[in-house]
Amino acid sequence: MPDNSTVANESGIDGGAPKPKIRIVVADDHPIFRDGLCKLLSLEEDFEVVAQAQDGRQVLEILQQHEPDVLLLDLKMPGLDGLATLQRLQAVRNKTRVIVLTASDDKNEFVQAMKLGTSGIVLKQTATELLIKSIRKVHAGEIWLDSHTTQAVIRQFVANEEAPQPAMMPPPPQRERERSPLSQREREIVALVAQGFKNKEMAEKMFISEQTVKNHLHNIFDKLGVSDRLELALYAIHNNLHAGR
């Protein structure tokens, strides 16, 4: 007799409740792009597009009304733009996870968006399947940046560290995740990770073995509650640990 357990699980015959859909709001001032994207997302069984917005003010109203799981937010919108919208959302401690979906290549904007609590950045020229994957990852609590964007954001952040901060920018958000203080050596490793160094390069730079670097990273991940190097790098940026201070 064939094993039908997989079929039963997928069809819900086993009595389990269906998984709730990821509720999404799309904010973009170009109707053709916005409508097309909504239709693409609606093809995914676990997605539900609950509303659309054409500017930041509509975003704030819609999020208050619908409380979606994920907001896809364009940076360049009339009136209240993407960054200003992120500021407002941060001020009211909105729990919706935000993915910046943009055609911009301004790394300064990316840095500001990350510091304002964005969970992901996706360029509009990205393949649709990667956008779909990013939504699922961000909804699960992960951070989404491709490797090129991550490196560019970190480089830009480090390059601007001595520059005066714009008056509009609030202090970096504190995640309050640290379970115990980092040692000086651990802080050095966090800074090197944020600057893009690999394990072998860190080992050579610090005159320790690669295994020792891995041991330190394991302890750091446990202390900070992060799951991978990307999240650690973003934690370092948010908490001003990127320069090892």
Q: How does pLDDT run across 97-140, given as a tens digit for each residue?
A: 999 998 887 878 887 888 888 889 999 988 899 999 999 989 98
Question: What CA–CA distances, in Å, run from 90 to 79, 85, 106, 169, 243?
Answer: 18, 9, 21, 11, 25
Higher pLDDT, 162 or 39: 39
Query: What's the CATH number of domain 184-238, 1.20.1510.10, 3.40.605.10, 1.10.10.10, 3.30.70.20?
Result: 1.10.10.10
In angstroms, the CA 58 to CA 54 distance is 7
In angstroms, the CA 61 to CA 198 distance is 44
> End-to-end alpha-carbon separation of the chain, Å?
64
Quickly list DSSP for 14-27: TSPPPPPPEEEEEE
Q: Is the pLDDT of residue 13 over 60?
A: no
What pTM was estimated for this model as a whole?
Answer: 0.64
Q: How confident is the model over 180-192, as a mean pLDDT?
A: 88
Give the domain ranges of the chain.
20-159, 184-238
Residues 30-85 pLDDT 10s: 999 999 999 999 999 999 999 999 999 999 999 999 999 999 999 999 889 999 99
Q: How confident is the model over 147-160, as a mean pLDDT?
A: 63
Q: Please tell me the predicted confidence (pLDDT) of residue 191.
A: 86
In angstroms, the CA 207 to CA 201 distance is 10
Burial of 136 (0-12, 13-18, 19+ CB in 10 A): middle
**CA triple 196-123-28, angle to 5 deg:** 140
Instruction: Place 243 in a pLDDT band, splitting at 50, 70 and 90.
Output: low
Q: Is the pLDDT of residue 91 over 90?
A: no
Classified by CATH at the fold level, domain 20-159 comes out as Rossmann fold (3.40.50)
